[in-house]
């Protein structure tokens, strides 16, 4: 028997905020990673998006931290400073929420 999980749906940010969704992708066979960022308003309209290939085989947490950092910098450069960040990598989210840079590769980017 195969159990299915419900597909998570995008939920809008609170009024006056923007939502930064980040993602990391990997192709181990080619030793490349990639990041993607989408910033949406409350109505789900894409305000700006970005994707980039990294010619490096980095740890997943490091690539996700880079994606979050790029999302925050992109939002700031567009004047979208009231934003929340959404990520599916719990270790990176916990590190950011703790406000203490971990002694790992992720901490280098978080700092």
Question: Average pLDDT in the 42-63 region?
Answer: 89
Domains and CATH numbers, the chain: 18-110 (3.30.420.10)
Is 0.85 topped by the overall pTM? no
**Span 65-80, average pLDDT:** 91
Lowest mean pLDDT among 7-16, 42-51, 70-79, 96-105: 96-105
**In this model, does residue 64 exceed pLDDT 70?**
yes
Name the CA radius of gyration of the chain, rounded: 15
* Residue with more model confidence, 23 or 108: 23
Between these two residues, 22 and 100, which has the higher pLDDT value?
A: 22
- The pLDDT confidence band at residue 1, using thresholds 50, 70 and 90, is low
Q: Kindly give, in sequence order, each residue whose CB lies less than 8 Å from that of residue 52, ignoring residues fewer than 6 positions away.
A: 34, 35, 36, 70
Locus of tokens 């990520």: 87
Name the helix (H) or strand (E) containing 24: strand 18-27
> pLDDT class for 3, splitting at 50, 70, 90?
low
């Amino acid at each position: 028997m195969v159990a299915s999980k419900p597909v998570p749906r995008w939920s809008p940010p609170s009024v006056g905020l923007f939502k930064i969704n980040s993602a990391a992708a990997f192709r181990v066979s080619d030793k490349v990673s990639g990041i993607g960022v989408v910033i949406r308003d409350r109505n789900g309209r894409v305000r700006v998006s970005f994707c980039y290939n990294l010619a490096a085989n980095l740890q997943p947490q490091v690539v996700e931290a880079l994606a979050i950092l790029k999302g925050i910098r992109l939002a700031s450069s567009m004047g979208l400073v009231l934003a929340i960040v959404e990520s599916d990598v719990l270790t990176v989210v916990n590190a950011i929420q703790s406000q203490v840079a971990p002694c790992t590769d992720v901490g280098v980017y978080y700092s």
